[in-house]
Amino acid sequence: MGADDRASFREGLRLGLPFAVASFLLSMSFGVVARETGFSVLAAVAMSVLVFAGSAQFAAVAVLAAGGGAGAAVAAGTLMNSRFLPMGIALASSLPGRAWWRGMQGLAVVDSSWALAARGDGTFDRWRLFGTTAPQLVAWY
């Protein structure tokens, strides 16, 4: 990582902090809703670690709370997260490496980090993306 990359990452961290506050509040809300739906603490935390997508998690829990099955909950979460497909396609050319490595880097995409990493010319600053996501990830867990 060069000096410019470090500067982009630090800028991303700074930009991500307000979103981290919102992420923390949402994660606490998710925990309350999940527990009220019958999730154990471990199950709610595991879902947050594995999914890391608030809208999908809330959708899945809503389906389960309404009496839907696991398949319907997964389908609801998948539909909520389908927005990441075009976001990932737009981002892919800005990420180095083979397809599997670009895919791994793409796991860092959340709505705010994707928007803040956009350069305005169709390319993305991946280190700003990573930096913006980092505090949100910590706050969500």
In whole angstroms, give the CA distance from residue 43 to residue 45: 5
Task: State pTM to two decimals.
Answer: 0.84
For residue 3, the model assigns a pLDDT of 85
Output the CA torsion sign for 75, 77, 79, 85: negative
Cβ atoms of 87 and 114 within 8 Å: the answer is: yes
Enumerate the H helices of 1-141 as residue ranges: 3-37, 41-51, 54-65, 70-81, 84-92, 99-106, 111-117, 126-140
Band (52; pLDDT cuts 50, 70, 90): confident
Question: What number of CA atoms fall less than 13 Å from residue 113's CA on the CB side?
Answer: 31
Q: What residue segments make up the domains of the chain, in order of their start? A: 3-140
Output the CA torsion sign for 73, 88, 18, 1: positive
For the chain, what is the mean pLDDT?
92
In whole angstroms, give the CA distance from residue 125 to residue 8: 8
Give the tens place of pLDDT for each residue, 29-39. Answer: 999 999 999 99
In whole angstroms, give the CA distance from residue 113 to residue 16: 7
